[in-house]
Each structure stands twice: as C-alpha cells, then as structure tokens.
Amino acid sequence: MDPAQAPHATKEQTPPPTTIYSWREYNPNIQIFYLRDHVEANRQLASLGSGPQALGFDLEWRPNFVKGAPENPVALVQLSNSDVIFLLQITQMQEFPEKLKEILLNPLIIKAGVSIQNDAKKLYNDYQVSICNCVELSFLARTVDNDIWKGRYSSPLGLARLIAKYEDRLLPKGKVTRSNWEAFLNQRQIEYAAVDAHAGYVLFKKLEAMIDVAYPPESDWYTFNYVSGNFMNSNGRAWSPQNPRYDPGPPPPPPVPREPKTTVNGQEPGQPSNSQKASADKHNRRRRKNQPNALSIEQGSTANSHEYHSAHRTGPGIIPKVTPHHPYQGYRDSRLQDVDAPESVNPSAPKRRRRNRNRQGKAENDYDAVLGGMMSLAFDPLPAQPGTGGSGSGTVDSIRLGGIMPMAHGSNINDDNGNRPHTNHGNDNTDSTPLGDPALKKKRKNRNRQGRRRGYNVTNSGQEQEGASR
C-alpha cells in the first residue's frame, strides 16, 4: 500500500529549535536607540524618512496585578528594520512624539506584528493616536502558507511559534514580560524589547517572499487601518479578518466521551440500590420506635468501638453505620464515647463515670458531700453562758468557730429549729486540730485530690474551701 494512502499517515514533525533568536545573527552592526525624551525621539525618527518601507511593531506596558483594575497605559513603543531599532519610552516623555504620530499614520509605511489589532486599539485608547497599514502576521501566515496552518482564520498565532517554524529559532519568554516598563529599562528589558520588534520585521520579510506572484492575495485579508477607534480597510470600509480562499481544513474531532462506569441493574458496583436504601430507612425507623434505649453491647462483644460510637452518635435505636477509618476518627470518637459503655469497648468509662459523679456531687450542694471530707474536731468543754440554760460540763447544742459548724464524724447535729446549719466555705480562720488517725489522714488526702477537681481546696487543717472553678 502506498504510504500516502495509509489511513493513519501523519506529517513528519520537525524537532523544536534549540538556538535562541538574536538580531545579531542578521546584522551585528544594528543600532539600538533607547529614547526617553520627545525632542530627541523626533530627531532620531526623522532618519527613517516617509517613503515606502516596513517596520516591526510592538508595544509594552506595566502589568497590573490587581484583578478588575484597569490596564496601565502604553509605556514603550518598539520599531525595527534591518539597520536600526527604536525603543521609545512614552511614559517618560513630556508629550507624545509628533514624528512617531506621522510614522504611524503614514499609509506607505507597513507596521507588522503579532496581535497588532489589540496593540492598535490600546494605543488609541491611551493616547488617541490612529495607525494605518497594519499587517497581522498571523493572517499573513495563514494566507501564504495555508497547507501548514489550519483551523479558524481569525485564530492568532504566537510570535514564538512563527519564529520556530520559519526561522528555526527559539524565542523564550520569561519574567521580563511582566516587569515594570515605566521605570528605567535594564539590559534584559532592552534586549527583550529589541528582539520582539526585530522578529516581527524578519517574519514579515519571510512571509512576504512566500506570496504567490501569479495569484497574489488581496492585502485587505491581512492588512487594516485603525482610525478614530474603528477598524477599516484600504477603501475606508469596516474591516474584519476574512479570507475567501482560506481552507480551515477538517473540523476538529469531537471530544472523546467519558466511559460510563460499569453498572449492575442501573447501579454502580458497591453502591446500594434505591430499593435497598428505602428498606434500610424503613428498618431504622422501626428500630427507633421499638427500641427507645440506646444499643447495648455485652461484654466480650466482637463489635469494634467505631461501630458502637457511631450507633450512639446517630441516636438511640439506630443501626450502627460503619464508615472507613481516617486519621482523625480516633480523636473524634474519644470525645464522644459513652460513659455507660462496658470497659471492653470504652476503657475510660470508669474514669468518666467517676468524674461525672464528682461533678454531680458538687452541683447538688449536699451537706454530707460538702462536709464529708472534713475531719472530726475535738473541742474543749465551754463554760455555760449566763441566761442560756446550759451546763458547765461542756454539753452544747451548737458551737460556731469562724462561721463553720464543726461536728463529730458521723454525728447528726441540728440547730435549735431542727435544721442543719449552713456552711461558710471560704473562711479558714478555725482553731480546730486534726486528728492523728492514719485512716482519716488517707481519706483526707483522697478528698483533697477530688476536691481540687471539683473546684474546692482542702486546707491542711481539714477545712474544705470553695476555690476558683477550673
């Protein structure tokens, strides 16, 4: 079979270029004029004359990194031919150079560049300067080399792509493209701006030489004027990019559809069907109705803690829903564990139950819970007071020391009205003496530890004070 008739025959692709483009290859004696004064710019631009010629054209401006903010004005205008390159920094000039206006409006001078439509529009919006005889190199390349370039005619072609194709040179772009073009230019900026303008001129000359003289295209297919904010052709009519001879080639292939996932009876593998989901919901509702209490797991159950905690998180009577374990699952479960769970499922359940009892004892304000940790106090018999009806043997109904009622351990002393007296936590001015019973000392030590967790402070003398809650 002929290789040209092969169904999958493709054109041989050339390797990408490795040599960087430089204007020095074409003319090592080229002159570069970096101009920041409008008077000097008018004097230097006068050397170009006003006759028919072609110039590479490009613009640069300072980028704006604020989203939605307007663009900064054009800072640099670049013009180039085979002998000279002009870099005119407009933002540093007191006024727009008049000689530059004449060059841009001159219909005999070709201004060639890539995406020159956007440059012409921006130049007019910033300085109200019109431009004539602009050649869009993308349209010119599609016109004279239609066999290579396919697709929509108005689609742009980058300058680096055209240089790689027709000059076999690499045109790198870097951070310098986003640099400040309004400040004094450094050597890298000058080199980059000179290369862009010179590459436009070289490409125009290359593509112009490819025009078929026997069957030349119309210049309006790739040339336009931008006057007073309007695109116009050489006859003064509205212009738009079009070429009746252009062959866009076959339409692009449609996007490859995504492969559908393998399904079983309309459901993805591993996923429950709608009927299964409905049945599970109905079953859960029935369990919640019939079992108001939470699920209980007996000692020695094989259910893991995640299943148990998931069941108690979702509510009473709901079937545990097992989900994949992830790194933070243990942290979340540890805060949601049920204190009533068996120790085999929740090892910290006894500790939590004890902590809850301590907190509950504090909240109930029970007399025995408050004074249960106090030690029995021994008091000397007090003499009877006149008029009280007491005896001198030390038999007293109530003795208050520092506002606190001391009492013997296990006794049940009431006041005159038969009620238990109130305590005064926070007053430790008591002359009581702790007993030396080792059992009571140990009990006081344990109560002291628990009291600190409840927000109380037990003093060395055996009194319990209310402290700052932690």
Residues 209 and 69 in one domain: yes
Q: For tokens 């692009």, name the residue.
A: 252
Using the CB atoms, write b or e for 99-134: b if 16+ within 10 Å.
bbbebbebeebbbbbbbbbebbeebbebeebbbbbb
Q: For tokens 């809850």, name the residue.
A: 356
| The predicted structure's pLDDT at residue 204 | 96
Residues 181 and 221 in one domain: yes
Q: Which residue has the higher pLDDT, 435 or 172?
A: 172
| The predicted structure's pLDDT at residue 455 | 53
| The predicted structure's pLDDT at residue 142 | 95
Number of independent structural domains in the chain: 3
pLDDT digits 0-9 by tens, 217-241: 999 999 999 999 999 998 999 999 9
CA distance 240 to 66: 32
Residues 328 and 425 in one domain: no
Residue 243 has pLDDT above 70, yes or no: yes
Banded pLDDT at 287 (limits 50, 70, 90): confident
Residue 63 has pLDDT above 70, yes or no: yes
**In 3D, which of 334, 363, 364 has the Cα closest to residue 349?**
334
Residues 218 and 314 in one domain: no
Mean pLDDT of 256-283: 71
| The predicted structure's pLDDT at residue 297 | 41
Question: Which residues are within 8 A (CB) of 95 and not within 5 positions of it... i.e. 6 or more apart?
Answer: 38
Q: Does residue 132 form part of some domain? A: yes
Banded pLDDT at 257 (limits 50, 70, 90): confident
Examine the fold and report which residue of 187, 206, 232 is the final residue of a domain before the chain moves on: 232
| The predicted structure's pLDDT at residue 376 | 44
Residues 316 and 458 in one domain: no
Residues 220 and 98 in one domain: yes
Residues 331 and 374 in one domain: no
Residue 210 has pLDDT above 90, yes or no: yes
| The predicted structure's pLDDT at residue 72 | 94
Its pTM stands at: 0.54
Residues 328 and 373 in one domain: no
pLDDT digits 0-9 by tens, 7-50: 443 345 678 888 999 999 999 999 999 999 999 999 999 999 99
Residues 326 and 181 in one domain: no
Q: Does residue 68 form part of some domain? A: yes
Give residue 17's identity as a one-letter amino acid code: P
CB 114 within 8 A of CB 156: yes
| The predicted structure's pLDDT at residue 185 | 95
Residue 177 has pLDDT above 60, yes or no: yes
Determine what percent of the chain is predicted with pLDDT higher than 70: 59
Q: Does residue 430 form part of some domain? A: yes
Mean pLDDT of 356-376: 55
Residues 402 and 342 in one domain: no
Residue 435: which domain range? 365-379+398-466
Q: Does residue 327 form part of some domain? A: yes
Residues 339 and 373 in one domain: no
CA distance 2 to 383: 135
**In 3D, which of 158, 166, 190 has the Cα closest to residue 31?**
190
Residue 293 has pLDDT above 80, yes or no: no
The two three-digit tokens of residue 15, written as one number: 């390797």
Mean pLDDT of 296-306: 43
CA distance 339 to 361: 17
Residue 76 has pLDDT above 90, yes or no: yes
